[in-house]
Structure 1
């Protein structure tokens, strides 16, 4: 299954089940990240695991441990005012990059999910 097909299937399942999905993401906190393509300007949606920290929804551009960032990272850098879907709710948010010690501490917390 291609990444596009996988994402489309996961998005449909997420929306049909109030933000819950099975398979690879079963039991994981998942949100739908709506971005605008950094180069294309086209709307994009990616299912992404998240860590809630108070009122913040944190996503990690780890790309499964790869040496490169996922495309959505560059989309957020170019267009930080976005929407996320969490459960049945759509929320307007502004993406900010967390750096330094705070980033390291949050990444450790996220790794336990």
Structure 2
């Protein structure tokens, strides 16, 4: 099973042939700019395509605080996203209240544990929309 740095390394080396299909779902690579350091940070995340956009969930397993990558993209929404061998620039934003229910259903269908993560925390777990630029 791929995870963390090894997942990123294999995904990049194989254009996603190793790492895109992950534990019964799909994974992509999100690269954000560190809000304090300015350094690039790449994170493998479960994703789904949604029309012309891509969705990821800032769950951190239902932890009370959001993941670092989410805090980074709040500070700088210009990100890079890689699906298979295609790497592109995108603008990240949090789904609106009107958009979120349908987007959440799509993501929970891809990874049912998201519903459990939301039950574990009082924090509203955001769905992030990635739009190509």
Instruction: Quickly name the TM-score band, shorter chain normalised.
Output: 0.7 to 0.9
Give the alignment partner of residue 11 of structure 2, picking from 14, 28, 35: 14
Report if the CA contact (8 A) 1:20-1:30 is conserved.
Answer: no
- Say if 2:72 is the partner of 1:88: no
Runs of at least 5 residues in structure 2 that lack an aligned partner in the other structure: 111-133
- Structure with greater proportional helix content: 1
Give the alignment partner of residue 105 of structure 1, picking from 102, 112, 115: 102
Structure 1 outlier segments of 4+, above 6 Å:
none
- Structure with greater proportional strand content: 2
CA RMSD of aligned residues (A): 1.8
Q: Which is bigger in relative contact order (C-alpha 8 A, separation at least 6)? A: 2
Q: What SS does the aligned partner of 1:99 have?
A: coil
Runs of at least 5 residues in structure 1 that lack an aligned partner in the other structure: 1-5
Rounded to whole Å, the distance in 1 between the matches of 2:101 and 2:34 is 27
Partner of 2:29: 32
TM-score by length of 2: 0.73
Report if the CA contact (8 A) 1:51-1:58 is conserved.
Answer: yes
TM-score by length of 1: 0.84
Q: What SS does the aligned partner of 2:31 have?
A: strand
Alignment: residue pair count: 107
